Amino acid sequence: MEGAGYRVVFEKGGVYLHTSAKKYQDPDSLIAGVIRVVEKDNDVLLHWAPVEEAGDSTQIFFSKKDSSGGDSCTSEEEPTFDPGYEPDWAVISTVRAQPRHAEPARGAEPGSPRGSWAFSVSLGELKSIRRSKPGLSWAYLVLVTQAGGSLPALHFHRGGTRALLRVLSRYLLLASSPQDSRLYLVFPHDSSALSNSFYHLQLFDQDSSNVVSRFLQDPYSTTFSGFSRVTNFFRGALQPHPEGASSDLPPPPDDEPEPGFEVISCVELGPRPAVERTPPVTEEEWARHVGPEGRLQQVSELKSRIFSGGLSPGLRREAWKFLLGYLSWEGSAEEHKAHVRRKTDEYFRMKLQWKSVSPEQERRNSLLHGYRSLIERDVSRTDRTNKFYEGPENPGLGLLNDILLTYCMYHFDLGYVQGMSDLLSPILYVIQNEVDAFWCFCGFMELVQGNFEESQETMKRQLGQLLLLLRVLDPQLCDFLDSQDSGSLCFCFRWLLIWFKREFPFLDVLRLWEVLWTGLPGPNLHLLVACAILDMERDALMLSGFGSNEILKHINELTMKLSVEDVLTRAEALYRQLTACPELPHNVQEVLGLAPPAEPHSPSPPASPLPLSPTRAPLAPPPPADTAPQPDSSLEILPEEEEDGADS
């Protein structure tokens, strides 16, 4: 839309202000509005204004806008609604609102209560932009000005954050932080300022003005060939300048140091290497690694062989005890026997604790009663098609039940959470001994117990790391998923929660897990396994025009159709492709175990911003408020056949 001296280049409805700090907003605390980017009088403004209820004469609506360059966000877009802050993976079915056609009406009255929340800011006044964490029902943006104040958080109930950021990137340079991928530092598109900075810092060997020209036209393929030096430029821009020195880029306030920044959007990776897996380790090969006194020799070589080929079925019962930390790789045969005796006594002492509880006592112990009920229900439907667990009186079911109840005595804080039976079942199938299976299960839980914590912070962190890897490996796929409201990768939640237990046939799961347990080639191979699956399904997702529901359906239909050897081969190839890149960002190196984690520069912000008064903006973010623990929404997605499996 064009008017006297202005042109609207972007417009998006369904952008709300939340004026209450409550987790669940009541209707009166939500102010619906429209966000616009407007070119006016040689300046570019970001403008938000409220929209009153349907039919009210104070509604703001631009019926047309510029079609030559603005991102189209039409009113026919079907929004997904959810009345809270539950993570995306807890929302399986959605209710879609029917589109309605609004008529143009005049703007909100300046004196109206909601009109007082409207704001307009020049893009040149922005200092940084913070995105919400993935996993919320909708995304939000917090804009910080050069003066240090924060504008009211903009909640995009109908999506559109990436579209807005793309439009802003036409007028600004947005640099993301490796320590906090949700934070963007804002730089102006000022060729003279950038040329001057490049000249003084000697970032490039060729003529700086030519570099800047190509930088603004094609920043990814042109400028980032000198990736490390560009990284240093952005980091240097964050440091206070010496007294008397001029600077074209404003330094941050002394009381709010920013972390270092590096642009990782388009890291140029080399060709993907070919990988060939080897035959499984046999019992004869294992025996050649057993030295005097029964000690294993050349353990690193043995682990490498397990990683590249897995184990033969007859060897798993012995080798898994080492892979899961039950037996020491360095111990002798006699030391192992003594260790097993001690662990056997310890197991039965813990088992006796719950076995000796009378029915009268259990009626007064709601926690134990709840664990027992949940375990009995889950055990009754765990891998019942496997011959080891089929039949109504199968002794394997009793062992599953006893081991899981004993684990509640072993780990009081965690107890039992739905999904643990999926992790125990293959271990008991292979080990076929109650005590040994229990301690192997404990070793596995040491690796994944964070997945089952009520806060779900570990799961959210892994989804963030997965998104980071995928962004480097395939930015086009990430952009596609973002455009279909699937950028949080919530459809991968079950993959990571129980390590692909329900995605592969049972025997393939055994091969996958023993490879992952080697810890090679790095600590997060399971994330590269997820990347490999997405890479294999890339064309099916992107060329089919799937929406978010169709993407979730397609991923669920991959169950039992994947080849574990193909997936492992591709995951290793992705790892080698990443590690061969000399300019791999530090935060990606951290995920792959190639670099130690960087020390945090500042405490993490609250998960959701607190509301701001319409009359005053604080100079610093408020401290995080204590929030009530979230329910374990992972239970919503685990069961596939049973309708009542979500209750716990």
pLDDT of residue 472: 95
CATH of domain 1-55+118-188: 2.30.29.230
CA distance 421 to 328: 25
Angle between helices 333-355 and 434-448 (to 10 degrees): 90
Instruction: Supply 251's token pair.
Output: 């330094």
pLDDT of residue 611: 36
Q: Is 233 exposed, middle or buried (0-12, 13-18, 19+ CB in 10 A)?
A: buried
pLDDT of residue 137: 64
Task: Name the 3-class secondary structure at 255.
Answer: coil
Domain ranges of the chain: 1-55+118-188, 191-200+268-308+455-595, 313-451
Q: Which residue has the tokens 């690193």?
A: 300
Q: Which residues pair with 102 in a beta bridge?
A: none
CA angle in degrees (0–180, nearest 5) for 599-245-124: 75
What is the C-alpha R_g of the chain?
Answer: 28
Task: Name the 3-class secondary structure at 439.
Answer: helix
Query: In sequence order, what are the residues at sequence separation of 6 or more whose Cβ sits closer than 8 angstroms to the Cβ of residue 357?
Result: 365, 368
Which ranges of 558-607 does DSSP label H, i.e. alpha helix? 564-579, 586-592
Which residue spans within 538-632 are E strands per DSSP?
none
Task: Name the 3-class secondary structure at 17.
Answer: strand
CATH of domain 191-200+268-308+455-595: 1.10.472.80
Helix, strand, coil percentages in the chain from 3-state DSSP, rounded to 5? 40, 10, 45
pLDDT of residue 267: 79
CA distance 205 to 296: 55
CA distance 581 to 225: 12
Residue numbers in the chain where pLDDT is lower than 50: 21-24, 53-111, 191-265, 601-648
500: closest CA among 431, 553, 564, 404?
564
Phi, psi dihedrals of residue 150, rounded to the nearest 5°: -105, 135
Q: Which residue has the tokens 């993490």?
A: 604
pLDDT of residue 527: 98
CA distance 609 to 621: 8
479: closest CA among 244, 163, 174?
163
Q: What amino acid occupies position 450? A: G
Taking only the tens place, the pLDDT of each residue in 367-408 is: 999 999 999 999 999 999 999 999 888 999 999 999 999 999
CATH of 313-451, picked from 1.10.8.270, 3.40.50.1220, 1.20.1370.20, 2.40.50.140, is: 1.10.8.270
Q: Is 191-200+268-308+455-595 in the same CATH topology as 1-55+118-188?
A: no
pLDDT of residue 233: 36
pLDDT of residue 57: 31
pLDDT of residue 623: 42
pLDDT of residue 366: 93
